[in-house]
Amino acid sequence: MKGRPVQKLLCIARMDLRLFTRREFLSDSAYVAAWLGVGRRLAATTLPEAREITLTARETTVEISPGQTRTTWAYDGRVPGPEIRVREGERVRITLRNELPAPTSIHWHGVPVPNAMDGVAGVTQAPVSPGDSFTYEFDASPAGTYFYHSHVGLQLDRGLYGPLIIEPREDAGATADREYVLLLDDWLDITPEQAFAELQQRSPMRGGMMGGSDDPLYAAHLVNGRTGGLAAPLAVARGERVRLRLINAGSATTFRVGLAGHRLTVTHADGQRVRPIDVDTLVIGVGERYDVQFVAGNPGVWPLVAGSIDSPLVSLVVPLVYERTLDSLRPVTVWPSELSRGRALRYVDLVPVERMTTPAPGVVQTIPITLGSAMMGGYVWTINGQAYPNADPIGLDPGARVRLRVTNATMMRHPLHLHGHFFTVRLPGQTSGPAKDTVVVDPMASFDLDFVADNPGRWFFHCHHLYHMEGGMARTLEYR
C-alpha cells in the first residue's frame, strides 16, 4: 500500500472541504464522521470462516438533505442500509428482524443463492411477519458488487436497500488503492403505494402516459441516502488508483454518470469482470452495477455528476476532493460538455473476461419473451400478454442451455432482472456478450439472454422498474 496514512489524508481532505463546501458541509460533525467512514483504504484482511449479520427493518427518520428529515422504512435506521462486505466463498448468515408494521423479506440482488434463500416473498418464501425473523444463509460467490433489498411489493422504494460487496478470494488481483461505494436512488415524498395509484390515474386511456412519463414523480435523487447538496465528498490522494462501485438502487430512474476531469475505466458489469474500457459517461439501469476505476492524476476539486437519462439536468453532484487542493467546486446544473460530448459506454463495449458457466452440450431451449403493456387502460405491463400474478409459470429443463429471446414491444425502457443466474447478453450481430443479471431493454429493441439452467427452483424474472413489476411485468421460471 502506497500513499499516506489514512488519518492524515482524511484530515487534509476535511480542511479542503472548508474551501468549497460552504455552510452545509461542515456545520455538522456527525455528517463529517459519516463520510469519513465511506471511503476505505484497501488492505488485505483475514476474515472469519462464517459471518453472522443481523439487519433490522424498521421505521426510521433520515436526513436526506440539510435540515430535511423524512420518516421512512430502512435497515438498521439508515438509508442505504449497512454495507455488507464479505470474502468470496465465505459462509454468510444474515438474520432479518422485521420491526415494520408490514410483512417483508430480503433479496440478494445478483447473487445466485440457493432458491430458498432468494427472498422473494410469495415465490421462494412466506413473507416475514411483523415481529418475526428469518435467517438467510448462503455462500458468498462469485465476487462482485451487489445489493440487497426488500422483495415485497414496492417496499424497496421506501429505502429498504443496502450494498452487498463480495471481495475476491485472492487479494493478488487488487488493483485499487482506495474505493467508494455509491448507491444511486430516486426518492419519493409520498408512499410508493400512493405513487402507484397516481400512475394508474395517468393510464393510457386517460391520455397521460403516451406522451409523458411512465415513472412516478420523484422529489429528489439521492447518492448514499443524501441529495447532492449533502453528498459525501470522495477524498483522494494524488496518484492513487480509485475504484467506484456504482449501484443503481433506484426504483424507476435510469442514471447517467460521469466524472469531470477524469476518464473512467469500466472493469466490472453487474459484479463480473469485463475487459477494461475507458469512457467519459455510463448509463446505469435500475438494478445494474458497474465498477469503474480512475487514476487520481488531476489535482483539484471535480464534480462526479449523475442525473436521469431522460433529463438534460444534473441531479446529483459528488465532489471529488484531492488532498492539499486550494480549488473550490463550481456549481453544476447541466452536464459538463466534455462529458456529454465524450465517449459513452455501450453494451457492445462489454467483453467478458471469463466464462461464467459451461453450457451443457446439446439441449437448447428457446423461450420468446415479449414485453408489452395493456392495450386497454390501467397501468398494466405484460410478458407475453399476461400480467403477473395472473400469469403462467415458464418451465425450464434442468441443465438446458436456455435462450430468452426478448423483444420490447413498448415505447418504454425495461431493466430486466433474472434471479438465481447470470445470463449472457447477446446483442444483434454479436456471438458473445457480457455476463449480467440485469439488462436494460430499450424501446422496440430485441436481443437474446442466454443462460444455463443450473440452479434448480422457482425463480423470479421481472422488470426492475418497480412500478412495471407491480403492474404485472414479472414471471416465475420454474425447473421441471
Residues of this chain that interact with Cu ion (CB under 5 A) are: 414, 463, 465, 468
- Count of residues binding ligand C2O (CB under 6 A)? 10
Q: How far apart are CA 19 and CA 283, in angstroms?
A: 31
Residue 464 contact, options ligand C2O, Cu ion, none, Cβ 5-8 Å cut-off depending on partner type:
ligand C2O
Kindly tell me which of 111 and 188 has the beta carbon lying closer to ligand C2O.
Answer: 111
> Min. distance of Cβ 27 from ligand C2O in angstroms?
36
How many CB atoms neighbour CB 379 within 10 A? 22
Q: What residues from 264 to 283 belong to the interface with ligand C2O (CB under 6 A)?
A: none
DSSP state of 54: E
Residues between 424 and 463 that touch ligand C2O (CB under 6 A): 460, 462
How far is Cα 137 from Cα 117, in angstroms, rounded to an integer? 7
Alpha helices per DSSP H over 27-93: 29-36
Of residues 262, 268, 421, 464, which one binds ligand C2O by CB under 6 A? 464
Edge-to-edge strand ranges of the sheet holding 144-150 = 84-87, 161-167, 144-150, 106-109
**Under rule CB under 6 A, residue 419 binds ligand C2O:** yes
Which of Cu ion, ligand C2O, none is residue 468 near (CB under 5 to 8 Å by kind)? Cu ion
107 binds, among Cu ion, ligand C2O, none (CB under 5 to 8 A by kind): ligand C2O
Q: How far is the CB of 414 from Cu ion (least distance, A)?
A: 3
Binding residue (CB under 6 A) for ligand C2O from 107, 226, 262, 273: 107
Handedness of CA 294, 295, 297, 299 (dihedral sign): positive
Residue with cell 453528498: 231
CB atoms under 10 Å from CB of 210, counted, come to 11
- Helices of type H across 202-264: none
Neighbours of 175 (CB within 10 A): 12
Minimum distance, C-beta of residue 249 to ligand C2O, in the bound complex (Å): 9
Q: Tell me: does residue 302 bind ligand C2O (CB under 6 A).
A: no
465, interface contact from Cu ion, ligand C2O, none, CB < 5-8 Å by kind: Cu ion
Our CB check for ligand C2O shows the closer of 109 and 178 to be: 109
Which member of 226, 417, 421, 475 binds ligand C2O (CB under 6 A)? 417
Min dist. Cβ of residue 417 to ligand C2O (A) = 5
* Contact call for residues 302 and 261 (beta carbons, < 8 A): yes
- Residue tagged 453532484 (cell numbers): 317
Q: Which is nearer to ligand C2O, 279 or 387 (CB)?
A: 387
CA distance linking residue 293 with residue 297, whole number of Å: 12
Closer residue to Cu ion (CB): 334 or 409: 409
Smallest distance from ligand C2O to CB 192, Å: 15
Name the residue among 422, 388, 390, 428 with its Cα closest to residue 408.
Answer: 428
Q: Which helix (H) or strand (E) holds 200?
A: helix 192-201
CB of 108 to ligand C2O, least distance (A): 9
Cell digits of residue 150:
426488500
Rounded to a whole number of angstroms, the minimum distance from the CB of residue 221 to ligand C2O is: 19
Write the DSSP symbol of residue 399. T
Quick one: what does residue 241 bind among Cu ion, ligand C2O, none, with the CB cut-off 5 to 8 Å set by partner type?
A: none
- Is the peptide bond preceding residue 80 cis, with omega within 30 degrees of 0? yes
**109 belongs to the binding site for ligand C2O (CB under 6 A):** yes
In angstroms, how far is the first alpha carbon of the chain from the final one?
A: 51
Q: Is 149 in the site for ligand C2O (CB under 6 A)?
A: yes
Nearer to ligand C2O among residue 221 and residue 462 (C-beta): 462
424 Cβ contact list (under 8 Å, min separation 6): 352, 356, 432, 433, 434, 435, 449, 450, 451
Query: Smallest gap, in angstroms, from Cβ of residue 9 to Cu ion?
Result: 42
* Contact residues: ligand C2O, CB under 6 A: 107, 109, 149, 151, 287, 417, 419, 460, 462, 464
